[in-house]
Structure 1
Amino acid sequence: MFAEVALPEAGRSEAGLFGLHPALLDAALHAVALGGGLVEETGQGRLPFAWSGVSLFAAGASELRVRLARAGADAVSLAVADGTGVPVASVESLVLRPFAADQLAGAGGAQESLFRPEWAGVALPSVASSDVVTVLGGDDLGLGDAELFGTLAELRAAVATGLSVPGTIVVPVLSEAGPDVAAATHGAVNRALVLVQEWLAEDLLADTRLVLVTRGAVAVSSEEAVLDLASAAVWGLLRSAQSENPG
């Protein structure tokens, strides 16, 4: 199946914002529904389910020429070029999963059951005497007698020379204040990412709890405002890390 798709004139200026404009890709995939035996006929619609072998060769195309070919009973491959024939992208396999119309009808009311977080105040528990609290970075949290280390590497070296493995490690998340919020966000998220990657690779700390502390990154009541957007992004990163690494 061959298809030509193009953005409307009013939207062509947005093409450069994307590697491959999502509206163009979506329009190209609609060709699967036109028939031609690309996938097994089930009498149901199909939705994209699993992508593999995806390559992007060029960005910013406002019109595409697409070749779709059968890649299995429920899969297609795509070869994508721009309007002049220059390669833009390729997909070795896109598995399309059938769905029934009543599945979409049931999804319409799902928003009524969405959950949202609510903050509740709790008393801070005392640290057990058997636990050891260590702080990476400066002790601006007022933890008093906590062991202080500048980096995870310094802590690792201290443990190697006899320091007890800490039960809890606290890391203040400090973003770089300034007018460039995007740069501050990139910096804060990258630092947190490096820390989490090093943490997960350190078997020595498998039983230690990692605590990242932010200020002004979330609003815990209607009277508060988010004052540190960079640290707010760190919350999102950590939620992803928690979902990938339970516990």
Structure 2
Amino acid sequence: MTSNFFAPAAALPPEVRRFWWLAAVASAAYALALRGAPYADQPVAKALMCALLLFAALYHRVPRERVWLCAALIFSGVGDVLLASPTVAQGFVLGLGAFLLAHLAYFMLFWRLRRRWAQVPGWHRVAIVLVWVAGALAYAMYWPGMGELKAPVACYVIVLAMMASAALLADLPGEWAPVGALLFTVSDALIGTTRFVGAIPAQEYAIWIFYALAQLLLAAGIMAMRTPPIAQAAEEHARRV
């Protein structure tokens, strides 16, 4: 099917679309509410986007993909709550672990849909190389400020790059999922920069906007309606694995 990158909701099944739009509205509302952060209900407000996307994911038409997508959104929501709860001991480390599991779930979903290298679009190949180069450079930049977190952050950077690479290899309609995965790397890179290097202007807004767009585009790319041959092949592949 043909797709308009700037209208991802149009490619979604009707039963999914309403929750996707609600998630988009929730993400915009949270961005506006950042002006008053921190506030008492901030963890709940932050996790609302992933909760609504989870409701959408329950209607995804490919069962095996649905399991991994739901897992990714659940772990993302947990990570959102932990990172928005400064009173939780080791909240950053626990949030890092939750998002690590979310990236692994996304990786498993995309890896099952991977194409042969010869079938991967040219810009996807270039982006895969850049993801790994950028990850190495970012880790080197974080190094002086990481302290005892050097090993966990190294693991996180590798898994994040694996997830983005798998999204770029996946055979899915449109460009929403690969672009979403790349935006996820940008958001996480900004978190690492503010944590280990120093504050940047409007960091809370930048991190959230890139992250929210990432989750919305990943969900749209995964749940977009597919032509019968692709959908049938995906289900047959899921049964064989």
TM-score normalised over the length of structure 2? 0.25
Instruction: Select the structure of larger CA radius of gyration.
Output: 1
Instruction: Write 1 or 2 for the structure with the bigger share of helix.
Output: 2
Instruction: Write 1 or 2 for the structure with the bigger share of strand.
Output: 1
The answer to which structure, 1 or 2, has the higher relative contact order (CA under 8 A, 6+ apart) is 2
TM-score normalised over the length of structure 1? 0.25
